[in-house]
Amino acid sequence: MPGVIVKICGLSTRPTLEATIAAGADMAGFVFFEKSPRHVALETAHALGQAAQGRIAKVALTVDADDAALDAIVAALAPDLLQLHGEETRERVAAVKARFRLPVIKAIGVADAADIARAAAYREVADTLLFDAKPAPNAAVPGGAGTVFDWELMRGYSGGDWMLSGGLDPANVAEALRLTGAPAVDVSSGVERERGVKDEAKIAAFVAAARGASV
């Protein structure tokens, strides 16, 4: 899978943003969800967005955010893409895309093949589908839990642009890419030293492992 796209998500500090850029990642993700340990305030997002401008694609991750919240986030970060990580309907995804005129990534929680089939409903309204491990029913946040789903479910997937997420780390990303042929990978907890705190060395190792697998 030549040229695999690498996204580092849940960034919240300037040093880890700089490490992400230095490692050669393609996308930097910023989480706007107060229940998440990776949540960034608008003021912080603005500063990080300014630092990232023109150097890496900026992704704003939200969870069932309303228009007012999205307006504020877009004004602060000036993202290149929007990632919808909640229970947004097909209609909501289309409305967000029309309102902001930005590419949209729609996250799909996966536990079995039926979840992948369900994703087809979003294909015409989302630019990219992100397949993540489905959270437990009582989970406080919809992602970033470090949980892996059965990658065999994605073998041979041909439903358009997509990303693989869920439990990836520097040690397993090459195998995940080999099994799935994913064109893009997304990591958050797998490059942390503790929950919500990114590790610069792990970021570099993850990008290197993904790039090595795509040669």
The count of other CB atoms within 10 Å of the CB of residue 191 is 28
Domain of 196, CATH number, reads 3.20.20.70
pLDDT digits (tens, 9 = 90+) for 143-186: 545 678 999 999 889 888 999 999 999 999 999 999 999 999 99
Quote the domain boundaries for residue 51: 5-213
As given in the structure block, the two tokens for residue 197 are 């705190």
pLDDT digits (tens, 9 = 90+) for 13-68: 999 999 999 999 999 999 999 999 999 999 999 999 999 999 999 999 999 999 99
Q: What is the pTM of this model?
A: 0.93
160 exposure class (CB count in 10 Å sphere: 0-12, 13-18, 19+): middle
For the chain, what is the domain count?
A: 1
Residue 9 known to be catalytic: yes
Of 40, 2, 33, 5, residue with least CA distance to 198: 40
CA 202 to chain CA centroid, nearest Å: 17
In the set 71, 80, 132, 186, the catalytic residue is: 132
Residue 71 known to be catalytic: no
Q: b/e per residue, 120-132, with b = 16+ CB within 10 A?
A: eebeebbbbbbbb
In the set 9, 26, 169, 186, the catalytic residue is: 9
